Amino acid sequence: MMSGKVFLVGSGPGDIGNLTMRAYQLLTQAEVLVYDALVDSQFLELVAETCLKLNVGKRGGQPSMKQADIDRLLVEQCQQGKQVVRLKSGDPFIFGRTTSEIQALKSVGCAYEVVPGLSSALAAPLFANIPLTDPVLSRGFTVVTAHEPDRLNWQALAQLDTLVILMGGKHLPLIVEQLHHQGKSEETPIAIIRWAGHPEQEIWSSTLSEILSLVNPQRLSPCVIVIGEVVRLRSFL
């Protein structure tokens, strides 16, 4: 029996055009595919008909397999000698649970490899024609998750040139409130990119003072939020 191996693969955001060549190769050779809910259905067509396809969910507010069960699933399939692709949207190490999966694999001696993917934190602003850096407007950018907004240092975040927030759709009112409270100008530009890279991609651009009147926070997921003066360059670019 061939030795099993688990490949922790990033699919990038959106459609198949954002997939790396290495990820494409592994998908065509996979015997087991363990994938997240945000992974586009096009990727499922790349695997062989004999490949076992397992949807584990992992989307906020939707039914999902518990992380511990995913960890055990990967170990079980690997120990059966299978070539397993664990496919994640974006990049495996950007706010994913890849570390937990690696720990489970290492604890029993399973072979694994991490394959980078294009993160939505970088790609979504590009799809919206927003540069994250600019010689004048943005000397750098910071990426955070708003999955647990109360644990973020809003005082520090409010001082940054450009802020990229993942998993922040339903917490948009709190994000706006916290930035206002920490002295961020109400006229600071903000853009929200929903379903980045997908055919149904939507973009809203406004200011911190007006963005809530344009969107329904409960219906923004999955989205990437960009806050900073570089958002003004969107109309020019």
Residues identified as active-site: 36, 58, 167
Contact 80, 61 (CB under 8 A): no
Residue by residue, DSSP assigns 195-217 as STTSTT-EEEEEETTTGGGT--G
Dist CA 208 CA 227 (whole Å):
8
Contact 182, 208 (CB under 8 A): no
Contact 165, 145 (CB under 8 A): yes
Helix, strand, or coil (residue 226):
strand
- Beta strands (DSSP E) in the chain are 5-10, 32-36, 52-57, 83-88, 111-115, 141-145, 162-166, 189-194, 202-207, 223-228
The DSSP H or E segment spanning 73 is: helix 67-79
HSE-CB of 182 using CA atoms within 13 angstroms:
17
Number of residues assigned to the chain: 237
Dist CA 123 CA 197 (whole Å):
8
